[in-house]
Amino acid sequence: MSNIEQSIKAGYAKLFTASDWSLFRQFADSYLREAAYLKKKDMGVTENLKLLARNSRKRMLIGIGTELLLKAAYLKNGYAINKPPAKSTLVFPFTFKTVATAKVALTETDTFMLNDLIEHLHQVIQLANPDVVRKGLRIAKVFRNKEGHVVTSAHKFDQSNYRDIEASLILTYHVAFGQSLTVRFSVAPNEKAAWRIMALAKLAP
């Protein structure tokens, strides 16, 4: 890695603590809400590219928002997201208490990848429908990976991908944060967008 890359990367270095979960959540909410409501008119490209650009940006925002959301869930539940040193015996996922007991100095410049967060989420929160949750999260992961690396002149539209992500997010907000999420990523013509977060209704005594 070049000196300039190391210098820039150092500017993002931080040992994240449980209290950082709220900031991760706020940014996750912001990206996902923007993805829901983003319109063609918001795109600064020629008219013939506006639909392509809007959908591409939606997918990228969904992917980024999903990663930040999962990191918020890990932190809120007492799990570290910074990677341990290469020779450490710590096995992901591990709690802050485990790190303190092992007296391991985590790596400030590296956090766990989205794939790791998805595959081990069931160890952090109790998933009532793990297959539903993982399916949507994995789609979001592919969206983030591909939209951040390439641009194609066309993209096969599968509306079910967005419904799967929505179902996954609804369950994640419910279990990880105790909140009710209403979400619809407006992609199809005349499809009405939705983004609303509410506290779960308390059961009557």
pLDDT in tens, 162-201: 999 999 999 999 999 999 999 999 999 999 999 999 988 6
Among 95, 69, 70, 71, which Cα is nearest to 84's?
A: 95
| Structural contact between residues 64 and 144, judged by C-beta atoms closer than 8 angstroms | yes
The mean pLDDT value for 60-87 works out to 97
Q: Which two tokens stand for residue 160?
A: 């079910």
Q: What pTM did the predictor assign?
A: 0.94
Return d(Cα 166, Cα 147) in angstroms, integer. Answer: 19
> What are the extents of the domains in the chain?
16-199
Element (H, E) at 54: helix 50-76
- pLDDT tens digits, residue range 127-165? 989 999 999 999 999 999 999 999 998 888 899 999 999
